[in-house]
Structure 1
Amino acid sequence: MCLFQDSHNNIWIGTKFGAAKYNGESFKIYSPHTGTAAGDINFIFETIKGEILLCTVSGNITKIKDDSTTVYKGSKEYESYLFTQMHDSLISVARHTKNNIKSTLLSFNKGKYRKLKNLNGQWYNLVYANDTIWILYKNSLNQRIFAFLDKKYKFKELNINIPFIRLQSKADTIYLSTYKTIYKYFEGKLTKLIEDDSLWTIIPTKNGFVKKSFVKKNKITEYDYTSKQITTFNIPAFRNVITDKEGNLWFGTENGLYKLAEKAFKHYVFKDYNIDISNPGVVIDKNNNIWLSSFNGKLYKYNGNKFIDFTDKLPTVFFPFLIAGFVKPDGTIIWGRSGEGVVKKKGNKFTYAYKNLANIFEIYYDTLTQNTLYGHAKGVFFEDKNDKLVFDAGSIIKTMILAIEKDTAGYYWFASRREIFRYKNKKLTKINDSAFTYGALDIAHDAHNNLWFGGEGGLVFYDNKNFKKIEHPKLLNKAITALHVVGDSVLLIGTTSGMAAMDLKTF
């Protein structure tokens, strides 16, 4: 029911049947059967005198000092005690057994309870900070009240009309949370820190706080709210991003084409150019032309002055939807398709290939082997430099691959919407790591040989040893659709609500 580590590094375990102390070598049991402790222990505390207090839901307290025990019985008037310490006294809030809408603040000192304050409502929790007991409870009008009890046991309610559900402290600061917002209360000032639709419990840590999400199967996540390493940009969600020869970045979004140059965005609104295209994929050819492909089968080239429609140059096929786009070193442009096969442009000629393969969402070129890898509806197939199919990994993957990357150790990484795989020498390994809630929609490789995975479960970092989920306020509850590394210092993160840039130098 609870765990506690005392000043001598002993571990105390509170259970329904008593408590156990573990000194690193053996256990010592305190239980009702031996008369050394009560049962149903839900709170363990060490006083400033070095006494261990085992507290129960019924208000019984067992005091342990130098292995001698004393049991103090609680009152039948109260149940479900919640405890903290103030000076040399233990402060508790207990609910009335006969009328559970009423609670009472109690102090426990020298084996005796003392009534401090009746609360006409139900308590949530209390913490001790700055010689003050901070209390959160719900009154008879169903209003959540934030209050405190000072060192002279004077009670005061704060006039803050916010429905808090949790209260925690760290050093001199109080943290409060609603179901979706965390606040900081310091020196009488309340400041909003972060919003998250799935907040349930907050626990302050060295660099931020830990949140426990109730609606996400009690998943526990750590956030660093002090970090400033991620900056967001007000552009729509995009499918992919490319860098041209001049170092400019190009984004294809649902609201048009964006160009980022000299830290400023230029927006090309498609309707202003009479372009029938939406949320395009973007590639750049060897002549620095921008090619835009779309789910509606449209294909345009932007040469720096105007957009040119190339749709009628495409092979006539049943499913025209163009998805993935890639430019090989020899200048060949390849577009994957939502129907079947790929469209290749070599010189001025467009051809249609691999019509037996459906939904090619990812194209990756291996500069070492000169193989081209295609992620499709049932796995991955490899094409050699002579445009011949040399191996179909779909026979062992058997799932739709949306992203492909290769690390410096020669492993290919394949990502589906729900799974991550590592592949080498025709051996496939499925990655099972708690950092991944889902699979990934994109993978990026940075200048330090780290891998980044982005998907519906957020952002995951891999340093070739361990996976780490990257939690940041500006990425909360956002599916990541695209990743792109710029130079050796910036990771661009495309999300369902826009773009964020992570400074890798401060990561």
Structure 2
Amino acid sequence: MIKIKLFTALALSLFLNTCSEQKSKIEIEQSINSEKKPEEHKQNPYNNERSLFHSVIHDQISQVVRTIFQDSKGIIWFGTQNGAFKVVGDSLIHIDKIISESGKGVTIKEITESKDGKIWLGHSDGISSIDGDTVRNYYESDGLISNDVWSVAADKNGRIWIGTIAGVCVLDGQEFTTFELPEGQADATRGISSAKMVHSIFEDSNGTLWFSSNAGLFSYANHSLINVSEKAGIETNFVNEIFEDKQGELWVSTKKGLYHLTENKAENITKGNIETGKGIGSIAEDKDGNLWFVSNQHYLYTYDGNELIEFQPSEDNKGPVVFQLFKDQANRLWFVGFGGAFRLENGIFMNVTKNGPW
């Protein structure tokens, strides 16, 4: 039986200090509700706490950091509600040329790198590529299936896969082609959803592509598309992402729990052990091989293969409402989301602002 250990009780919900400095409560809720990760817990006793960030709010990379990525050169990228940033030396640089077709700024939701070294970003108004100092933006007018992009992945053959609110398309370097996935259902608990929404696209170490969608989890290899949710026994079609650990084991975050996928059989390791609420979100692995994941957007857990441990920081050790967990090339764990970007250093959340520390 898996034991559950409760470390310290603390919610990760964050409210802001003054109307002049920050968003209203309604705007905050709208920002959180539009995320692809599980949303705010329906009842959190700490929701009325003042934000940790009232004293440093102007120094945050962004009030909402949706994603983080490190490329093959070691450069760290942040995708935020205020566009894309990268760290160059000790400086944080904003990428100004990523814009909508009407010339407005965008919200970055996913970042990846293709085998030719280009950086690809999926955002609220299409996708963009960065090649050195050259930025190219792609929209529906270029053949993209939808401008509302939620995921982007580059496969080993150099193709760019784009998951949108209207399904999947693939860019082969010349043109966009629609890739047909079964239609599911819109998730009524999310602020933004659709029957064709694709939350994550991932290529594993064997070259198999995985699609996490509102119709379930699908694998694609050798021109064969398989409904893994149906075959492996995943009890919900609302799938958020799939993660491959350093041993090649696959883990699936869903609305009804975290699944361990082995030999086409899915085991729900959280069922009956933790409250998943609206679902499991982002997954990462630390240097010791422990899994970290988000439940109901507010609660962090670790799993060492035997025990589930709830990790909630103390009153003087707060992190963000987590949208993504990420391990960088130096084996440091990052936590980004509503409230900014943080690293976990010796059990302490270090606030990483526009000035670092990097």
Q: Residues 238-266 of structure 1: CA distance to partner in whole angstroms, max 9, x if unpaired?
A: 22111111221101112111001103311
Deviation at 1:444, TM superposition (A): 1.2
Q: Which residue of 1 aligns with 2:260?
A: 382
> Which has the bigger relative contact order, CA under 8 A and spacing at least 6?
2
Flag the structure with larger Rg. 1
Q: Residues 254-282 of structure 1: CA distance to partner in whole angstroms, max 9, x if unpaired?
A: 21110011033111122232634522411
Normalising by the residue count of structure 2, what TM-score does the alignment of the two structures yield?
0.65
Q: Residues 12-53 of structure 1: CA distance to partner in whole angstroms, max 9, x if unpaired?
A: xxxxxxxxxxxxxxxxxxxxxxxxxxxxxxxxxxxxxxxxxx
Q: 1:407 aligns with which of 286, 311, 315?
A: 286
Please state if 1:328 is matched with 2:204: yes
CA contact (8 A) 1:374 1:382 kept: yes
Q: Which residue of 2 aligns with 1:338?
A: 214
Q: Residues 365-422 of structure 1: CA distance to partner in whole angstroms, max 9, x if unpaired?
A: 1131x211001112210112x3322453333233111100001112110013111111
CA contact (8 A) 2:320 2:336 kept: no
Amino acid paired to 1:295: I
Amino acid paired to 1:415: V
Normalising by the residue count of structure 1, what TM-score does the alignment of the two structures yield?
0.47
Deviation at 1:221, TM superposition (A): 5.1
| Identical amino acids, percent of aligned pairs | 19
Unaligned runs of 5+ residues in structure 2 are: 1-16, 24-47, 62-89, 99-105, 186-194
CA contact (8 A) 2:242 2:253 kept: yes
Q: Which residue of 2 aligns with 1:398?
A: 275
Please state if 1:447 is matched with 2:326: no
Q: 1:262 aligns with which of 126, 132, 155?
A: 132
Please state if 1:232 is matched with 2:94: yes
Unaligned runs of 5+ residues in structure 1 are: 1-177, 182-195, 199-214, 473-501
CA contact (8 A) 1:362 1:401 kept: no
Deviation at 1:197, TM superposition (A): 2.8
Please state if 1:300 is matched with 2:133: no
CA distance in structure 2 between the partners assigned to 1:265 and 1:233 by the alignment = 9
Q: Residues 132-163 of structure 1: CA distance to partner in whole angstroms, max 9, x if unpaired?
A: xxxxxxxxxxxxxxxxxxxxxxxxxxxxxxxx
Instruction: Report the 3-state secondary structure (helix = DSSP H, G, I; strand = E; otherwise coil) of the residue aligned with 2:228.
Output: strand
CA contact (8 A) 1:290 1:302 kept: yes
CA distance in structure 2 between the partners assigned to 1:321 and 1:219 by the alignment = 34
CA contact (8 A) 1:221 1:471 kept: no
Give the 3 Å change call, closer, same or farther, for CA 220–316 of structure 1 in structure 2.
closer
Instruction: Report the 3-state secondary structure (helix = DSSP H, G, I; strand = E; otherwise coil) of the residue aligned with 2:272.
Output: helix
CA distance in structure 1 between the partners assigned to 2:330 and 2:148 by the alignment = 35
CA distance in structure 1 between the partners assigned to 2:330 and 2:337 by the alignment = 21
Q: Which residue of 1 aligns with 2:244?
A: 365
CA distance in structure 2 between the partners assigned to 1:289 and 1:273 by the alignment = 15
Q: Which moved more, 1:302-311 or 1:438-447?
A: 438-447
Amino acid paired to 1:345: Y
Count of residues in correspondence between the two structures: 263
Give the 3 Å change call, closer, same or farther, for CA 414–284 of structure 1 in structure 2.
same
CA distance in structure 1 between the partners assigned to 2:284 and 2:18 by the alignment = 38
Give the 3 Å change call, closer, same or farther, for CA 303–220 of structure 1 in structure 2.
closer
Give the 3 Å change call, closer, same or farther, for CA 269–467 of structure 1 in structure 2.
same
Deviation at 1:283, TM superposition (A): 1.2
Give the 3 Å change call, closer, same or farther, for CA 305–424 of structure 1 in structure 2.
same
CA distance in structure 2 between the partners assigned to 1:364 and 1:220 by the alignment = 31
Q: Which residue of 2 aligns with 1:347?
A: 222
CA contact (8 A) 1:378 1:398 kept: no
CA contact (8 A) 2:200 2:213 kept: yes
Amino acid paired to 2:121: F
Q: Residues 193-248 of structure 1: CA distance to partner in whole angstroms, max 9, x if unpaired?
A: xxx338xxxxxxxxxxxxxxxx96375755396x9732323331122111111221
Amino acid paired to 2:245: D
Give the 3 Å change call, closer, same or farther, for CA 439–430 of structure 1 in structure 2.
farther
Deviation at 1:310, TM superposition (A): 1.8
CA distance in structure 1 between the partners assigned to 2:225 and 2:53 by the alignment = 51
CA distance in structure 1 between the partners assigned to 2:252 and 2:177 by the alignment = 28
Alpha carbon RMSD of aligned pairs, Å?
Answer: 2.9
Deviation at 1:352, TM superposition (A): 1.2
Q: Residues 55-95 of structure 1: CA distance to partner in whole angstroms, max 9, x if unpaired?
A: xxxxxxxxxxxxxxxxxxxxxxxxxxxxxxxxxxxxxxxxx
CA distance in structure 1 between the partners assigned to 2:286 and 2:138 by the alignment = 35
CA distance in structure 2 between the partners assigned to 1:345 and 1:464 by the alignment = 39
Amino acid paired to 2:210: I
CA distance in structure 1 between the partners assigned to 2:323 and 2:51 by the alignment = 25
Structure with greater strand share of residues: 1
CA distance in structure 1 between the partners assigned to 2:268 and 2:257 by the alignment = 11
Deviation at 1:439, TM superposition (A): 3.4
